[in-house]
């Protein structure tokens, strides 16, 4: 499913190329594997910082990294743990898509400063630990912290508007329905679990109990504590089956709020896939410890 996601993106990019003038992109231009030029280098003083640079003219780069995907010409990846890591450089042109061979880097050092922010501790309990999260709606139809498992926000909303309460211009609005008054949103069921780990690296396991086509997904993740974004590779956040087909990338996530016990993660509802216009689908989660404590006290 993740390969198809990128084929969809590439198709959109190629369509946009077709609308460009000849001066911008040579129509029908094809970049071969031998034409690819790029650099992947480690910082001299901190080998756990890796610099990526696309040197191929006239293309959109597409990097596959341990932290996820990137289409930036220049990017910086920081990896906290020692180990072997694969990087793949690809290029999208009006003639199609081509990839270079996989490059493997071996890191021999750890740099835990990359993951010592409070938000990392909230998300996964820190280095050497893992933490499990549930969607805040159980099979009995009970939400333990939020009014329901799903809120809707404008595309301009983010951590700034939800956590900091900042007013922003653009598409900023919200509808935060009580599930008990809007049960049509999704059925109450056992949705499964989502576990973020920092044991031997940033690994994530998502058990989609209500979406059998997804089953259990295992991948990696990267938390950007400055921009409040979460990138998941080969896995997507826990969600309901009703909206499974309306999001292009379930691993491209905005962190709207995050505390020790609660978390709100947003994904973009694609206008074309949904037919309802673009907006942020904000899924509300509680930690397993919070759920266990409150579920047992309500019995």
Q: 216-230 pLDDT, tens per residue? A: 999 999 999 999 999
What integer pLDDT is reported at residue 31 of this predicted model?
A: 87
Quick one: 225 and 207 in the same domain? yes
What is the torsional sign of CA 266, 270, 274, 275?
positive
Domain final position from 83, 112, 141: 112
One domain, residues 67 and 154: no
Please state, in angstroms and rounded to a whole number, the distance separating the CA atoms of residues 279 and 281: 6
Q: Are residues 138 and 66 in the same domain?
A: no
Kindly state whether residues 156 and 68 are assigned to the same domain: no
In this predicted structure, the answer to whether residue 271 has a pLDDT above a threshold of 90 is: yes
Within this chain, do residues 219 and 277 fall inside the same structural domain, yes or no? yes
Examine the fold and report which residue of 67, 92, 112 is the final residue of a domain before the chain moves on: 112
pLDDT score, position 22: 34
252: its two tokens: 């491209």
User: Using 50, 70 and 90 to split pLDDT, how confident is the model at 3?
Assistant: very low
Whether 96 and 128 share a structural domain: no
pLDDT over 90 at 7, yes or no: no
pLDDT exceeds 70 at position 1: no
Q: Does residue 209 share a domain with residue 155? A: yes
| Structure token pair of residue 57 | 């003219």
Whether residues 9 and 24 fall in one domain:
yes
Note whether 261 and 225 are same-domain residues: yes
Last residue of a domain, one of 112, 145, 161: 112
Q: How far from 100 is each of 13, 37, 59, 254, 280, CA to CA, in Å?
A: 19, 9, 14, 30, 34
The Cα 28–Cα 31 span in angstroms is 10
DSSP class of residue 234?
S
293 and 215, same structural domain? yes
More confident of the two residues 251 and 298: 251
pLDDT at 299: 59
Tell me which residue range forms the domain holding 73.
Answer: 2-112
Mean pLDDT (whole number) for 114-132: 96
For residue 164, pLDDT beyond 80: yes
> Residue 47 above 70 pLDDT?
yes
pTM of the full structure: 0.84
- Return the sign of the alpha-carbon dihedral for residues 164, 169, 172, 173: positive
Is 188 within 8 Å of 140 (Cβ atoms)? yes
CA 258, 280, 144: angle at the middle one, nearest 5? 45
Domain count, the chain: 2
Region of residue 257 (phi > 0: left; psi between -120 and 50: alpha; otherwise: beta): beta
pLDDT at 80: 93
Q: What is the mean pLDDT of residues 162-190?
A: 97
Same domain, 87 and 126: no
Mean pLDDT of the chain: 90
Do residues 91 and 7 share a domain? yes
């Amino acid at each position: 499913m993740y390969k198809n996601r990128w084929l969809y993106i590439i198709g959109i990019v190629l369509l946009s190329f077709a609308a460009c003038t000849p001066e911008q992109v040579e129509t029908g231009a094809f970049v071969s594997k031998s034409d690819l030029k790029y650099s992947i280098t480690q910082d001299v003083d901190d080998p756990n910082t890796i610099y990526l640079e696309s040197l191929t003219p006239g293309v959109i780069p597409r990097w596959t990294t341990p932290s996820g995907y990137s289409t930036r010409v220049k990017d910086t990846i920081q990896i906290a743990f020692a180990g072997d890591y694969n990087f793949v450089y690809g290029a999208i042109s009006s003639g199609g898509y081509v990839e270079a061979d996989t490059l493997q880097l071996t890191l021999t050092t750890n740099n835990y400063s990359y993951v010592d922010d409070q938000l990392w501790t909230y998300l996964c309990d820190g280095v050497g630990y893992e933490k499990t999260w549930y969607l805040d709606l159980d099979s009995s139809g009970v939400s333990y912290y939020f009014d329901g498992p799903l809120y809707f926000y404008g595309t301009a909303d983010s951590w700034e508007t939800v956590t900091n309460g900042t007013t922003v211009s653009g598409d900023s609005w919200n509808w935060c329905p009580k599930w008990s008054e809007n049960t049509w949103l999704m059925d109450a069921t056992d949705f499964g679990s989502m576990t973020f780990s920092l044991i031997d690296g940033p690994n994530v396991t998502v058990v989609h109990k209500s979406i059998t086509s997804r089953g259990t997904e295992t991948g990696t993740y990267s938390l950007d504590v400055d921009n409040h974004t979460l990138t998941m590779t080969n896995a997507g956040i826990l969600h309901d089956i009703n909206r499974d087909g309306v999001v292009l990338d379930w691993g491209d996530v905005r962190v709207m709020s995050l505390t020790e016990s609660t978390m709100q993660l947003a994904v973009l509802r694609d206008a074309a896939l949904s037919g309802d216009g673009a907006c942020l689908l904000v899924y509300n989660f509680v930690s397993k410890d919070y759920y266990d404590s409150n579920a047992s006290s309500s019995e």
